Chains A and B, each alone.
Chain A
Amino acid sequence: MTGFRIDGGTLIDRNDVRRFSFNGEALSGFGGDTVASALLANGRQLVGRSFKYHRPRGILTAGAAEPNALLTIGRDGRRDPNTRATMAELFDGLEARSQNCWPNVNFDIGAANGLLGPLLGAGFYYKTFMWPAAFWEKVYEPLIRKAAGLGRASYDPDPGYYEKCWAHCDLLVIGAGAAGLAAALTAGRAGARVIIADEGAQLGGGLLAEGSPIGGKPADAVLADIVGELHALPNVEIKKRTTVFAAYDDQVFAAVERVQKHLPEGAINPHLAMERLWRIVARQVVLATGAEERPIVFGGNDRPGVMMAGAMRTYLNAYGVAPGKRVALFANNNQAYQTAMDLEARGVEVAAIIDPRTCPNIRYDGKARMIAGAMVRDTAGRKAIKSITVRHDDGRDEVIAVDALAVSGGYSPIVHLACHRGGKPAWSDEHVGFMPPENTDGMTPCGAVAGKIGIVDCFAAGGAAAVKALAELGVMGDAATLPGVAQGDATVDHVQPVWSVSSTKGKAFVDFQNDVAASDITLAMREGYDHVELAKRYTTNGMATDQGKTSNVNAIGILAENKGVSPGEIGTTTFRPFYTPVSFGALVGASKGMEFQPIRKSPLHGWAERHGARFVETGLWYRSSWFPKDGETFWRDSVDREVNTVRTKVGICDVSTLGKIEIFGADAAEFLNRVYCNAFLKLPIGKARYGIMLREDGFVYDDGTTSCLGENHYFMTTTTALAAGVLTHLEFCAQVLWPELDVRLASATDQWAQMAIAGPKSRDVLAKIIDEDLSNEAFPFLAAREVSMFGGRLKGRLFRISFSGELAYEIAVPAGYGDSVADAIMTAGEEFGIVPYGTEALGVMRIEKGHVTHAEINGTVTPADLGMGKMVSAKKDDFIGRVMNLREGLVDPNRPTLVGIKPKSASDKFATGSHILKPGDPVSLANDQGYVTSMCHSPTLGHAIGLALVKNGPSRHGEEVVIWNGLAGTTVTGILCDPAFVDPENEKLHA
């Protein structure tokens, strides 16, 4: 037996029996237990196998730093691998499994790795598996992956809800031990907005494990008083189960709150987050994160039953769990003696206290035998410790039978959050640890993280830290008076550093989780990797999920000792977020599945749905892409029919997603003249003009139409893709480049439902609902103005523009009426055979007409490349892109220029992205003539057509070329031609 439940335990409720399973075995614990305390109470010390050597490992700590006891908890979508048993709260029905062992934790085949030890030393990844090279992928890596690795993630979706929240406070207190509680109470009483966060299920930190009275009052009663008062303060927000895991710029702290992870499945509220990711904006911070007890590096220090002295005390006092029946303590400091005293007080035999200090400056009143000036050099026992070997100061060895060993090698302040923004901790010989950096803006470390010892001193430090932080905020406050405060001088310990036991026999581990032994670190040094950052990466010390919380300082100490320098000269590795692992669920928050990103819906979405539209995602928009009719099973059946109907009759298409920008101001015309490469100054009221916008580097940015709707009032449309980009660009021009111009911009995309009505019958359809004369004379091509509709019942904006090449209009109506107007147009168009058409048909028709989109405007083309060089104004003094557009390289006649392309044989097909070669040239990009930018099947022509950018294209119409699909390895003979396959004379457009 290595562990058992005894009386007491301030955290557990013995009336609340909770059943759980460990590796399939039914066990039970109590409410308030962690999985670790429940396992110990059931005598289960062996909980897992180590990463590299598969050595038996037990529970080392009682908190966040746990390197060994990583379990997989839960099943299916709620399975959490690599959960620290020391942090997981026990609930009824919990299922826990060991990791990294096969077939089971007691008999693990991988333990044979222990025999391969010499091969797996420092840098083994770089040395052992190098040759032959081909073996890496096929043999070594799969083997390593199978043997190593920790828990496995579930493939099932997590059914839980996760979310993110912002929080704001005057003072953030991180850690609710004695110092943090005193700080929160002080600031809370002063009226400040306080958030106090602690990773534990209960506030209290070290107070929860305190067995002795404070100021004559039981520790749990003192704690209850403080927590009660904090709860009563409306300006104090208490966040339990909340780990502040990162400190970011501008005093933003990230924290994860485990809201429901401690509940059995049946008790989970599906509407409440499982975990909540907090971003806390704090004006001031009190850092009260405490200190981490360090292990001592000696032979067999990883055997189950070896435990941190402070953790043993926590299990004893907070959970009523004794670690064994006969325990020894190996410690180099005074604080750890408290564990021995508490063990004896609770009736557990302490066989010996082994203290490396020759004259420990402490009086021990217990029964335990004191062995000064001695070290533990080895342990024995197969799956749990049975004895220790003590090397006395006279060189004599003594074997002492024990079933648990408490270890304490000193205390490392938990400085992470003080260092995330680049601060370096400073070594202190006095405290034998790295202290938080000074000058951490807005952050005051206090309590054990600042080297304070004992509850009473920490109370005082917390109060003082809060007073200091409040003063920064301009708030007066008095340090909260708490029991036992004001005892005179600060408590001091006398820690004697023991970085590794020189008489060690067997493997002495520094990093338990990554199986890094002291010998690995000295080997790394011998091989030249003695810089702390290099040693870390070469040995993997501190690189596991625990990030070296129990190992980093010992590794630094070993490096320092071997180099004969102070640990301060070695320095630490870099502290980066996160302090402890954070689940992907919390990081993702609500953004998953259909909520991955917002959906933008056109005002005609419902109308399109009623007509059976298939939708395509375009950015965030859902656009109707085609409208299958009964009997159409293949998308092209629908698209071909839609195209044919528009070309011969009439169709209606939702173009509401095009960007729309209202432009006002006395200088609006001048502004447009500067942002478009073609002339806009003289655009008359009631007219639309096609415009090309360049980037300042001379390439085309976007195209669209802009209409003049009134004096100093213009209406610009952009492509759907660049709606936001164009507005941002115009804002840059208006605000940064020419703030002296009076130009005002407003996005109006969402105000209008806009429909294209295209086809030879489009005028006839619209004449039925628009109250005005639509004849070619009264409303010619590129007319644009407000019109009265439905006998004066509605006003809309009508534009005679065409993307399809047909006689066409775009009508915009206030979005709420879009649905009704689209229905009215369908009704009015019924006699003409109107159909709805989608973006696919739109795409086919624009290729047939030789119109470009962003398939051609791909960031590498000039207006001349698109056959629109003549549009670029030679008269205007200045416009965006004017100078760079004239660069030598951009006016080269040999540049790839827009052409049409079709297969020589009508039955041949080709693909977008195919390259163009001259017939007879070897198939190679070295002979590249250009590439296909767009292609489709043209129902109008009955064969495939495409647009391409080809060197000196316009002079090569009629030339036979090879269309090479390098991916498929196929070639087709094609013919270059005019890009306007349909109506090159624009007769339909002007009909």
Chain B
Amino acid sequence: MRDYPLNNRCAFPHPDASGAGASINLAPVKDGFVFHVLGDAKSDEAALRQALAKVAPELGDDVRKSSPGQWFWVGSIAVSDVRLAEIQAALTDTFALVDQTHGRLRMVLSGPSSRTVLAKGTMVDLSTDLFAIGQSAMSQIGHIGAMITRVEDDSFELIVLRSFAGSLWDELQHMAAEFLTG
């Protein structure tokens, strides 16, 4: 069989960080995984964390609740098809796992102005005392759905559908422009 080249293509218009050094910085997260976890009616987050610790301790337990019984499990390690199949099998029927690594992309908006920029898109109050590090919200940034997670003091990770990633990237660039050139 002929050796066809296979590349995993980045969906962001600019695959590199932009705004480095300014009060705002936008960067794609290129590696790792996003798994959509679908629990049954009785499942809860504690049970999920327990199951993950047992089945795949090497992948961490960064789970972000998107809906009752549903989470996005994300991590920075690449997971092979074989390993994913093993994990899916081991989680049995309580938690179904859907690979969304290609369907839901991650980017990080950081810097002292990040909260101000996001307030141009989402109604969720991201002030430090109400939106602690590790907290997530499924919301909309403008017209685009996104999961917002506070990962550090002034740093927010956004998970967005791949088809909208280019538009969201461009919109964030517009929203952040006043701080990029300042």
Contacts and interface: CB of A to CB of B under 8 A. Distances in A.
Contact between chain A and chain B defined by CB under 8 Å: yes
Interface of A: 161, 163-168, 193, 269, 271-273, 279, 281, 590-591, 595, 597-603, 606, 621, 662, 664-666, 712-713, 739, 742, 744-746, 748-752, 768-769, 790-791, 793-795, 814-821, 823-824, 827-828
Interface string B141-182: 011100000000000000001111011101100110110110
Contacts of B11: 601, 603, 815-816
Q: Which of A166, A819, A828 has the most CB of B within 10 A?
A: A166
B64 interface: no
A272 B164 contact: no
A910 B10 CA distance: 45
Interface residues of B, number: 51
A815 B162 CA distance: 8
A923 B73 CA distance: 64
Contacts of B98: 662, 746, 748, 751
A812 B125 CA distance: 39
Contacts of B161: 749-750
A163 B116 CA distance: 12
**Consensus secondary structure, chain A interface:** mixed
Interface of B: 1-2, 4-11, 36, 38-41, 69-70, 81, 93, 96, 98-104, 119-120, 122-123, 125, 127, 142-144, 161-164, 166-168, 170-171, 174-175, 177-178, 180-181
Contacts of A824: 4-6
B7 A817 contact: yes
B9 to A, nearest CB: 5
B144 A598 contact: yes
A475 to B, nearest CB: 14
B125 A744 contact: no
A795 B143 CA distance: 33
A815 B6 contact: no
A595 B167 CA distance: 8
Contact of A820 (B1, B5, B100, B167): B5
Given A665-B96, A748-B100, A165 B164 contact: no
A269 B104 CA distance: 35
29 contacts: A271-B180, A590-B142, A591-B142, A601-B11, A602-B163, A603-B9, A603-B11, A603-B163, A664-B96, A665-B40, A665-B96, A713-B96, A744-B39, A744-B40, A744-B69, A746-B36, A746-B38, A746-B98, A749-B103, A749-B161, A749-B163, A751-B104, A768-B2, A790-B1, A790-B4, A814-B8, A817-B6, A817-B7, A819-B7
A751 B6 contact: no
Nearest to B66: A746
B122 to A, nearest CB: 7
Nearest to B162: A750
Contacts of B142: 590-591, 598
Nearest to A278: B119
Contact of B1 (A591, A595, A597, A768): A768
A605 B161 CA distance: 15
Contacts of B10: 816
Contacts of A795: 81
Contacts of B1: 768-769, 790-791
Contact of A271 (B104, B143, B178): B178
B120 A165 contact: yes
A820 B69 CA distance: 35
Given A271-B178, A590-B142, A815-B11, A601 B40 contact: no
Please indicate which of the listed interface residues B38, B103, B168, B177 has the most CB atoms of chain A within 10 Å of its own CB: B103
Residue among A168, A269, A712 with max Cβ neighbours from chain B (10 Å): A168
Nearest to B39: A744
A167 B103 contact: no
Given A591-B142, A598-B168, 19 more contacts: A271-B180, A590-B171, A598-B143, A598-B164, A599-B166, A603-B9, A606-B9, A662-B96, A664-B38, A665-B96, A666-B93, A742-B41, A751-B98, A751-B101, A751-B162, A769-B1, A815-B162, A816-B9, A824-B6
Contacts of B167: 598-600
Nearest to B116: A165
A662 B99 CA distance: 10
Nearest to A791: B1
Contacts of B180: 271
Contacts of A166: 119-120, 122-123, 125
Contacts of A666: 40, 93
A467 to B, nearest CB: 23
A820 B38 contact: no
B103 A750 contact: yes
Contact of B8 (A602, A769, A816): A816
Contact of B181 (A271, A273, A600): A271
- 9 pairs of A and B residues whose beta carbons are closest in the complex: A751-B103, A271-B177, A750-B103, A744-B38, A664-B96, A816-B8, A824-B4, A598-B167, A815-B102
A602 B165 CA distance: 11
A166 B142 CA distance: 11
Contacts of A816: 7-11, 102
A279 B122 CA distance: 11
Given A168-B127, A746-B98, A768-B1, A820 B104 contact: no
A168 B130 CA distance: 11
A769 B3 CA distance: 10
Contacts of A713: 96
Contact of B174 (A167, A590, A827): A590
A164 B171 CA distance: 12
B40 A272 contact: no
A168 B129 CA distance: 13
Contact of B163 (A279, A601, A665, A823): A601
Contacts of B6: 790, 793-794, 817, 820-821, 824
A169 to B, nearest CB: 10
Contacts of B41: 739, 742
Nearest to B176: A271
Nearest to B10: A816
Contacts of A167: 119
A606 B12 CA distance: 12
A794 B93 CA distance: 26
Contacts of A817: 6-9, 102
B96 A744 contact: yes
Nearest to A744: B38
A745 B122 CA distance: 25
B111 to A, nearest CB: 15
Contact of A748 (B9, B103, B122, B163): B103
Given A271-B181, A595-B174, A769-B4, A750 B163 contact: yes
Nearest to B8: A816
A752 B99 CA distance: 10
B163 A600 contact: yes
Contact of B4 (A665, A751, A820): A820
B19 to A, nearest CB: 12
Contact of B178 (A269, A279, A621): A269
A738 B118 CA distance: 38
Contacts of B38: 664, 744-746
Contacts of A193: 127
A804 B162 CA distance: 28
A555 B134 CA distance: 59
A48 to B, nearest CB: 36
Nearest to B127: A168
Contacts of B122: 166
Nearest to A713: B96
A953 B119 CA distance: 57
Q: Which of A745, A769, A820 has the most CB of B within 10 A?
A: A820
A922 to B, nearest CB: 50
Contacts of B144: 598
Contacts of A815: 11, 102-103, 162
Nearest to A792: B81
B4 to A, nearest CB: 4
B161 to A, nearest CB: 5
Contacts of A819: 7, 9
A746 B161 CA distance: 13
